[in-house]
Each structure stands twice: as C-alpha cells, then as structure tokens.
Amino acid sequence: MNNKKLSDNMQVNILSLLIFDPEYSSTIHSLIDPNYLDNRVMREICREAQAYINRYKTPPSEHIADLLEDKLKSEKASIKKMYEDILYDLFEQREAINGEFVINSLRSFIRGAHLKKELASAVEHLQKGDIERAELSVHQALRLPDASLDLGMFFGEDLERTLSFLEEMTDCYPTGIPDFDKAGIGPVPKELFIVMAPPNTGKTWCLLNFTKFALLARKKVLHLTLEMHEGRTSQRYLQMLFSISKRNSDVPVVELEKDDEGNLLGIAPGHIERPTLEGNDGIRHDLIKRLKYQKRMPLVIKQFPTGQLTVPMLESYLDQLERHCNFVPDMVVIDYADLMKLDASKMRESLGQLYKDLRGIAVERNLAMVTATQTNRDGADVGVITEKHVAEDFSKIAIADNIISLNQTEAERTLGLMRAYVVKARNDEKGWQVLMTQAYQAGQFVLDSVRMNDSYIEHIETLSGAQMAMNEVD
C-alpha cells in the first residue's frame, strides 16, 4: 500500500473498526493518530471515539451518533451532511472488513511515515555537517514505533491469544463436502490449499466449488484465471450457482444410498431435469433476472495471460482492488499457480519460491490462498494420487497447509463419481478418501459425498456392470 497517505477506503475501514469492532478496536486505538486522517470530520470522529474508549474501555458502537449529536443537529446543512455521509459509510462497512489486513496496512503506513521522518531528519543533519545527529536519526529510522510493534503472545497471560486455537480448529471456509468441513480440511485464512490432479480431471471445477461455498458463507473471493478466459469462467460459475446444464436438460447422475449413520450402502443411477444454456431462447432474460434477484455476490474474476503473472504484480493488483474498489478478498483462487511466470532456467527453485510467496501473501493479508497443481506422469496411471506424484518441485508439499488429490478411473468418470484423497492435513489426519457424486453437465462438482469404506469397490463393479448391460440393450 502507498505509505504517503492512507487511501480513503482504508481510512473508513480504520474508523469503522475503531468504533464498532470489539476484537480490533483496542489495537486500532493504540495505533491511530487522528492526524493520519485527511478529513477534518473524520479526525473529529476519531477523537470522540478514542475519548469514549479511554473512559469506558469499550468501542462506542451505535453510541457514536450520540457523541456527535451536536454536529448531526447542526443548523448548518453542509456540516450536518458531512457527518451524516461519513457515519453512513462507517455503518455500511462494518460487517465486511478484514480486520487483520487493515491493522497490518496501518502498521505498514506507520513504519513508512516513521522512516520518512527520520531519514529526512538525517539528510538535514548531514547537510549541516552534524554527523553524530545524522547517525542518531538513521538509528531511529530503523527502530519501530512502539505502538506498531506486536511483541508476541505472552503465553498464559494473554488468555485470548493463548486459547485462540480453539476457534481456529474449525475455521475453514465450507467446501460442500461435510467430512472435509468437519475435519477442517478446506480454505483457511493465512493458509495455502492445493488441489492436485492430472490434466482434465476437474481441478478448475473444484476451485469453482470452493468459491461457490465461500460466497454462500458471505466471503469475498478473487478468482484469477491464467488459462481459461473470463467469459468461460463466468459461464461455469453461473452453471454451478444456478444448476444449469450446458445443452442436455436430462442430466444423468448417481445417488448414494446411506444408512442412518451416513455409511455407504449402495450406489444407484438416477437423473435430474435442469434448464439449459444452449437452445434456450429465454436463458439470457432468465439469467439477468436471477442475477438481479440474487444479492450482489462479492466475486471478482480477473484474467492474466498464461506465464505473465508475477508475485509483485499480484500484490500490486490486490492493492489496487483495495484502494479503488474497497475490495479486500477473504479468499484468492488462482487457476492455477503453476501457470504464473517462472524462471525457466531454474524451474524447480523458482516454483518452490513461488509457492512460498503465495503462502506469505496469505499470512500477511489474512486471506485463504487456494490453487491447483498438476501431477507428474505417474499420477495419471495410479488409483490414488499421493504426495510422491506432485510435479516439478516436491517443496510444494512442505509449503502447503492442506492438499487434496482428485482421483477417477474411467468407470468412475462415466458414472459421474470422483474420489478426493487427503494428501496433507496440517491439523488433522491424512490418507483418507471421500467419494463424491458429480454432474459437470449441470455445473456441479459435488452433489453428495460420503467417507469411503471397503464396500465401495463392490458397489462400483455392480453399477458398472449394470451400465454396460444398459448400453448393450440400447
């Protein structure tokens, strides 16, 4: 972010956290100087909020309107409107702020302001020939202001931070796969999630599925596509969100039969009727109607040319989204990271550094980073893809927090079945599979799922045999 000044959106976010958020208010209070804010009205609101916090040890929340009552009832219409407009923005933003990102950005701004001040002082002393005072200013420039420094967790004393893991244990965004959600295997803020699969095995559909359920959980998502163009990506999202078939209204599916405890009993063929995109004269009108009726989904889709996106470009783009659109994503989906710009002369080293940098962005910006990667040649011919089948650089396995592989035989592909295998789980056991039913024709990566058991092979053989018999009859 620009250290010369705080963006208008960032100033609103900072004030909103100070006034409304019990988790981040005290930290903002210790960091913010009202003079950091450009607007006189915002500086006044900041001072009132800080005075309230000093007195009552809690953020003012809705009482901010009481604190500004004289301004809101001012006889001067211009003054009244200025305060009303800013308060409206503060109330409007309070539910959709990435608090940790805002605090990190404020700390970065303070560091920049501190460096600029002390280095300017050092230059001034050098021009006067005062070497000792110039050296002192340089030393001061390298020291952080106390208020911006996180000194770490004092174990057992800071009980909230000591026990914060209790909330984080299940803090993954939903995936639509209940067994994964229960185990916390999914996109998580500050973590890197990788989907591993051979070519043409549903990696993109899997990433879109994670986005779908993050959106349903009211998370902001940025989808970066490095292979498929934006229009085609939009089409798949519309199919997935509204369950629309591409061309056939009668979509074949398989259904999982389960006992009362959710264990797999059998697999049966079925079908669903869906509207279509092709050959449907009213589909454009229907989609426009659905999109208008649907509450605005916080999803941004951005295409970059294959092999051109770098980590600095990604960080710059995230800053632009925040500065110009006040869009700070909770999750970034990259389809897929192996197609970013790499040093061809040092491919493995470059790829390993790329994944480290992506995880670093996730940590620094408090977002979930989700991407996919190809398997090596052996991965295309095995029943279950494991960590040994990762392509190019094995360090991806060490860097990522959670990894799943997508597994599918030809028989399973024909039936609309897929197995997701837990290659790595930072906070749970690995080495188990979930069976999923799918309907790509209707844009559905997962219709139903069940944790695998030993009887699955018998079920799949029985259903495959029945399918073959039906084909022969036809």
Given its phi and psi angles, is residue 381 left (phi above 0), alpha (psi -120 to 50 degrees) or beta?
A: alpha
Supply the angle between the helices 283-293 and 230-242 in degrees, to the nearest 10: 70
Write down the pLDDT at residue 454.
Answer: 61
Cβ atoms of 94 and 16 closer than 8 Å:
yes
Write down the pLDDT at residue 2.
Answer: 42
Write down the pLDDT at residue 1.
Answer: 44
Amino acid residing at 327: F
Question: What stretch of H or E contains 433?
Answer: strand 433-439
With DSSP H G I counted as helix, E B as strand and the rest as coil, what are the percentages for the chain, rounded to 5?
A: 50, 15, 30
Class of domain 168-473: alpha beta
Q: How far apart are CA 5 and CA 11, in angstroms?
A: 10
Sheet strands (E) in 320-430: 331-335, 368-374, 402-407, 417-425
Cβ atoms of 223 and 298 closer than 8 Å:
no
Q: What is the DSSP string of 55-77?
A: HHSS--GGGHHHHTHHHHT-S-H
Q: How far apart are CA 150 and CA 440, in angstroms?
A: 47
Whether this prediction's pTM lies above 0.85 is answered by no
**Do strands 192-197 and 402-407 pair parallel, antiparallel, or not at all (unpaired)?**
parallel
Write down the pLDDT at residue 137.
Answer: 77
Q: How far apart are CA 225 and CA 246, in angstroms?
A: 21
Write down the pLDDT at residue 400.
Answer: 94
Handedness of CA 410, 411, 415, 419 (dihedral sign): negative
pLDDT values of the chain reduced to their tens digit, one per residue, 474 residues:
444 578 888 999 999 999 999 888 988 998 888 988 988 899 999 999 999 998 888 999 999 999 998 888 888 888 889 899 999 889 888 877 888 889 888 888 888 877 888 888 888 888 888 888 888 777 766 665 544 456 677 888 777 778 876 765 557 899 999 999 998 899 999 999 999 999 888 999 999 999 999 999 999 999 999 989 999 999 999 999 999 998 888 999 999 988 888 888 888 888 999 999 988 888 999 998 888 877 678 999 999 999 999 999 999 999 899 888 889 999 999 998 999 999 888 888 889 999 999 999 999 999 999 999 988 777 666 788 888 888 666 788 899 999 999 999 888 898 899 999 999 998 888 999 999 999 999 999 999 999 987 666 666 656 665 555 555 544
Residue found by looking up tokens 């989906």 in the block: 333
